């Protein structure tokens, strides 16, 4: 078994990335738990053993997809934190998160729908919590500096703003009429200035 | 079969509502598609045939739960629309939606995770779209009256605000430290006034 799985790339028809992309779409459509390797192979028009040339298991596909979503979000926050002021860190952090959500929509959708039914899911949820805590700490700092209102708890503030951001994966259409940069600006405007004209 | 299913109420141990509540929790936890009637019966400690005394099918449980979520949201909006000004309709609509989400958290979670894999799901998604369109029409009217900024599209505005509202089902804990009325006020504050101190 180990020897037949060795050549992981270059199967005619699909790259590893393409297989992963299709798998994530199927997971999102019918649920990870309800998807079998046979379902994935069927969707790709591959045999199960051809699919195993690309990946070791369904779990590995899940893990890679979640790592792409979380890695993107963490990277965007790391980059935002390079800015020197808390105001910029916050606005670039929000902007960066919107951009990751539009660029890695399927992977983030999978992340947001996790139920924690396996060790891989629990690890991803823990990593997501760590990310949320970093953002909440930034929000708390912005409140302390008077940049954000402090009559709403930093945790609630973070959850509401990320609720707005995360919803984007539900309705954003790649190649549609909404430009990701413009959307990032709009999210920032609603979050900071609200909908009521000043 | 029809005769054994006749007595739909009064089975010792569970009311119909309690069975429905447990079913919704299981659907949310492991996914509707991945849940069998045997899983539900197992969780309730009932035989499948005892479960069939309460409900005709897994589909019926789904349909009732979705109707509870959608009916709640529609009812809250209907009530808000009784107010005479657009400003009140909007603020009471947002407040009402938050209250439905905290009161019917599990049912709304199920609604928000639908993938449209069956006629029941497609019908619920259509009903949800109709609800969204009613809210977007209200937002458009509020923009026309100068109550809301009009540099952001009414559809995007509606989706972002409902993104914030809908996220509540992911983190709100019944009986926790956050009062639903206070949360509704906070959502309204963030949506209308934003996080930046004026």
Domain count, chain A: 2
- Rounded to 5 degrees, φ, ψ at B167 are -65, -20
Same domain? B187 vs B89 = yes
Same domain? B43 vs B137 = no
Same domain? A89 vs A20 = no
Which residues lie below 8 Å from residue B116, measured CB to CB, with a gap of 6+? Answer: B122, B125
CA distance readout (Å), B145 to A124, B153, B190: 45, 15, 20
ipTM: 0.87
In whole angstroms, give the CA distance from residue B74 to residue B93.
Answer: 10
User: What is residue A144's predicted lDDT score, i.e. its pLDDT?
Assistant: 97
Give a yes or no: residue B115 inside a domain: yes
Give a yes or no: residue A40 inside a domain: yes
pLDDT bucket at B175, cuts 50 / 70 / 90:
confident
Give a yes or no: residue B6 inside a domain: no
**Domain that residue A178 falls in:** 63-193
Same domain? B70 vs B148 = yes
Judge if pTM exceeds 0.95.
Answer: no
Same domain? B25 vs B77 = no
| Closest Cα in chain A to B28 | A115
* Chosen from A160, A168, A170, A176 to mutate, greatest number of chain B CBs within 10 A: A160
CB of A98 within 8 A of CB of A168?
yes
Same domain? B137 vs B171 = yes
Give a yes or no: residue A198 inside a domain: no
Phi-psi label, residue A155: left if phi above 0, alpha if psi -120 to 50, beta otherwise: alpha
pLDDT above 90 (res A58): yes
Give a yes or no: residue B23 inside a domain: yes
- Provide the CATH number for the domain around residue B49: 1.10.10.60
Does residue B109 belong to the interface with chain A, where contact is any CB pair within 8 Å? no
B125-B29-B166 Cα angle (round to 5) = 45
End-to-end CA distance of chain A: 66
Residue spans of alpha helices (H) in chain B: 16-30, 37-44, 48-54, 58-80, 86-103, 105-112, 119-144, 154-166, 168-171, 180-193
Same domain? B185 vs B88 = yes
In whole angstroms, give the CA distance from residue B192 to residue B181.
Answer: 17
Give a yes or no: residue B11 inside a domain: no
Does residue A125 belong to the interface with chain B, where contact is any CB pair within 8 Å? no
Residue numbers in A near B87 (CB within 8 A):
none
Give a yes or no: residue B198 inside a domain: no
B166-A114-A122 Cα angle (round to 5) = 130
Same domain? A157 vs A106 = yes
- Provide the CATH number for the domain around residue B90: 1.10.357.10
pLDDT above 80 (res B6): no
Same domain? A79 vs A6 = no
Same domain? B93 vs B22 = no
pLDDT bucket at A12, cuts 50 / 70 / 90:
low
């Amino acid at each position: 078994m180990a020897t037949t799985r060795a050549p992981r790339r270059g199967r005619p028809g699909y790259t590893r990335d393409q297989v992963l992309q299709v798998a994530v779409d199927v997971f999102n459509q019918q649920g990870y738990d309800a998807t079998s390797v046979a379902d994935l192979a069927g969707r790709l028009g591959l045999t199960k053993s051809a699919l195993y040339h690309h990946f070791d298991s369904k779990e590995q596909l899940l893990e890679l997809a979640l790592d792409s979503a979380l890695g993107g979000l963490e990277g965007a926050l790391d980059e935002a934190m390079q800015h020197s002021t808390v105001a910029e860190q916050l606005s670039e952090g929000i902007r960066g998160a919107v951009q990751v959500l539009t660029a890695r929509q399927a992977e983030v959708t999978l992340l947001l729908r996790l139920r924690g039914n396996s060790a891989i899911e629990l690890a991803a949820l823990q990593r997501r919590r760590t990310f949320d805590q970093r953002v909440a700490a930034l929000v708390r700092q912005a409140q302390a500096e008077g940049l954000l209102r402090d009559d709403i708890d930093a945790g609630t503030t973070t959850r509401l703003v990320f609720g707005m951001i995360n919803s984007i994966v539900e309705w954003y259409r790649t190649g549609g009429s909404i430009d990701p940069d413009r959307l990032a600006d709009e999210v920032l405007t609603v979050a900071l200035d609200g909908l009521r004209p000043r």
